[in-house]
Amino acid sequence: MSSQIIPVEPFDYVVFGGTGDLAERKLLPALYHRQLDGQLSDPTRIIGASRSALSHEEYRKFAQDALKEHLKPGEYDEGQVKIFADRLFYVPIDAKSDNGWDELKHLLDESKDRVRAFYLAVAPAIFGDISERIRDHKLITKTTRIVVEKPIGRDLASALELNDTIGKVFKEEQIFRIDHYLGKETVQNLMALRFANTLYEPLWNSSYIDHIQITVAESVGLESRAGYYDKAGALRDMVQNHILQLLCLVAMEVPPSMNAEAVRDEKLKVLRALKPITPANVEKLTVRGQYKAGASAGGAVKGYLEELDGGVSNTETFVAIKAEVDNWRWAGVPFYIRTGKRMAGRMSEIVITFKPIPHSIFDEAAGRIAANQLIIRLQPDEGVKQSLMIKDPGPGGMRLRNVSLDMTFAEAFKARSADAYERLLLDVVRNNQTLFMRRDEVEAAWRWIDPILKAWEAVGQQVQAYTAGTWGPSQAIALIERDGRTWHEVI
């Protein structure tokens, strides 16, 4: 059975940073795929805006080249690309002056009653400038939304300032803080697994779950992000947003409905229940790492400091944390989270490990009884595995084997899995904020992250070297193994 495609009403999407990397790699291909599936209604328009001096036709050529480069084989259809290109327009604009804004207003005034979304695919430093000029040039209508990318600040103080700046112009219900991880099919399936099945929710607590692991591993290094990354590090870049959002979806209570505010209320409670990490326990509960030269993707790769052109840096490219949610449901259940660059493979997954059976009736010859695990794979092969103990077929007595009930989306549904941005871009048009972060969520996450950053500084916690192409520093292994547990590392 294929899902029903429901077209959305016509809209105008203005992409600031329309010639940038995000627009080229993700936004334009995502909107093109939504057209392929019949979800864009006429006369929808996509308007690129940046400082580059391009005409409409030159921008259409830019978009066509982007689609050729970033679409998979067989997805580039000349006829559909022509239709898509006809939707594209471009305005050369300066975020810090009034240049180009009258032209944008003239273009948008052609369709004042249409849903209007402004996507800020630009540096957060100019979010305020753009927001104020949108207001000053009277571009805000009753159906206007604004989409902002991470990072929302680099600490609590800057997040508060940024939220205040945008909030002076737009109402909270108009602001969509995007985290593409929340748009992944498997992330949303986590809620379906928990809340649409009687099998899991009665067991989803400290009485039955031993521990939870969340891993977001990347095999790439800095690429072109050295300037940003060395000022951010893994804790700010990945944990504060992506990983804490995943933790919220795993740990939250059952919301009364799928209403956006109901879901986000429950996520906020989780963030507020996270046990603080302080200078007194930071070295026991966290590990910082930084990759050195090694091998990845079959070839030699440089270390982090070499990619910085021989600089000196204590920025972490890897972090592991033992976190706890201090509430009734999760009391005593550790959440082991880790993320890093130049690791052994690209993998994002959530592993729920259940407690062992209280008593075995089988003798030693039957073999070891492994704890049941539910493994939710976010990438690269989206799917869900449930491990179970069964009898090994054949005569000769009882021999137990650990096997998996394995469902991958590609095999189960025989259809292309939509990219996260495809869903999120159109959720903005639909005015559905369920998969977007509310202001208080962002700030609550920083209230947990900030003390970790300060604790690292207070105790002088240094990064531990790990070889590129491995699973991180040995201290991260010790973090979990001193509790009698081990990381799940099957790719």
Q: Which positions are catalytic?
A: 242
Structure-token match 């000196």, residue found:
312
**Do you find a cis peptide bond into 151, omega within 30 degrees of 0?**
yes
Strand (E) or helix (H) holding 90: strand 88-92
**Do you find a cis peptide bond into 380, omega within 30 degrees of 0?**
yes
Backbone angles phi, psi at 27, to 5 degrees: -70, -50
Separation of CA 268 from chain center = 17
Q: Is residue 21 packed enough to be buried (19+ CB in 10 Å), middle (13-18) or exposed (0-12)? A: exposed
CA-wise closest residue to 308 among 223, 429, 398: 223
Q: Are 449 and 242 in contact (CB under 8 A)?
A: no
Separation of CA 317 from chain center = 17
Considering just the CA atoms, what is the radius of gyration of the chain in Å? 24
**Looking at this protein, which amino acid is placed at residue 55?**
S
Q: Is the dihedral of CA 25, 100, 177, 243 positive or negative?
A: positive
Backbone angles phi, psi at 241, to 5 degrees: -115, -75
Backbone angles phi, psi at 468, to 5 degrees: -55, 135
Please give the Cα distance from 371 to 320 (Å, whole number).
23
The CB density around residue 134, as the number of other CB atoms within 10 Å, is 23
Mapped onto helix, strand or coil, the DSSP state of residue 410 is helix
Question: In angstroms, how far is the first alpha carbon of the chain from the final one?
Answer: 29
Write the CA distances from 329 to 206, 212, 332, 357, integer angstroms. 6, 13, 9, 20
Across 440-474, b (16+ Cβ under 10 Å) vs e yields: bbbbbbbebbebbbebbeeeebebbebbbbbbbbe
